[in-house]
Chain A
Amino acid sequence: MSKTEQFSNRWGIILASLGMAIGAGNLWRFPRLAGQYGGSFILLWILFLFIWSIPLLLAEFAIGKKFKKGVIGSFGMLAGKRFTFMGVFITVCTLGIAFYYAVVTTWAIRYLGFSVVNIFDAWFKQTSLSQKLATNPDFLSLFWTNLSNSNWFTVSVFVLVILAGVFVLVRGVNHGLEKANRFLIPTLYIILIIIVIAVLNMENGISGLEYMFAIRWTDFQNPRIWIEALSQSAWSTGAGWGLMMTISSYTRSKEDVTLNTFIGAFGNNTASLLAGMAILPAVFALSATESEAITYLQSGNQALTFTIIPMLFSQLPAGEILAFIFFLALSIAAFTSFLPMIELLQRNLGDLGLTRKKSIFLVLIIFALFGFPSAWSLDFFTNQDWVWGLGLILSGLFIAFGVVKYGMKEFKAELIDTDSDMRIPNLLFYIGIWLILPLGIFLIIWWMSQGYSTNPWFDEHGNWNLLDIYSNASIVTQWAIVLIIAVLLNTIIYKKFVNK
Chain B
Amino acid sequence: MSTLSIFSMVLILTIVVGGFIYFLIKAIKLEKSKQKNETD
A and B co-occur in one complex? yes
A380 at the interface (CB under 8 A from B): no
Interface 1/0s, chain A 257-295, versus B by CB < 8 A? 001101100110110010000000000000000000000
B39 at the interface (CB under 8 A from A): no
Partner of B8 from the list A206, A213, A260 (CB cut-off 8 Å) is: A213
Give the size category of A's interface with B. Answer: 20 to 34
**Total residue contacts A-B, CB cutoff 8 A:** 67
Chain A residues packing against B (C-beta within 8 Å): 9-10, 14, 39, 42-43, 46, 206, 209-210, 212-215, 256, 259-260, 262-263, 266-267, 269-270, 273, 421-422
CB-CB under 8 A for A259 and B5, given A213-B12, A267-B20, A273-B17: no
Partner of B1 from the list A206, A256, A269 (CB cut-off 8 Å) is: A206
Partner of B23 from the list A9, A206, A266 (CB cut-off 8 Å) is: A266
A263 near B8 (CB under 8 angstroms)?
no
Kindly list 5 other residue pairs between chains A and B, CB separation below 8 angstroms, not including A266-B23, A273-B13. Answer: A206-B1, A209-B1, A215-B5, A259-B26, A421-B30
Which residues of the partner chain B approach A269 to less than 8 Å between Cβ atoms? 16, 20
Q: A267 CA to B13 CA in the complex, in Å?
A: 12
Which residues of the partner chain A approach B15 to less than 8 Å between Cβ atoms? 46
Give the size category of B's interface with A. Answer: 20 to 34
B33 CB to nearest chain A CB (Å): 10
Which residues of the partner chain A approach B31 to less than 8 Å between Cβ atoms? 9-10
Which residues of the partner chain B approach A206 to less than 8 Å between Cβ atoms? 1
Interface 1/0s, chain B 1-23, versus A by CB < 8 A? 11011101100110111011001
Q: Could you list 14 examples of A-B contacts with CB < 8 Å?
A: A39-B9, A42-B8, A46-B16, A209-B1, A209-B5, A210-B5, A214-B8, A259-B27, A262-B19, A262-B23, A263-B20, A263-B27, A266-B20, A266-B23
Closest 3 CB pairs of A and B: A266-B20, A213-B9, A39-B8
Q: A176 CA to B9 CA in the complex, in Å?
A: 38
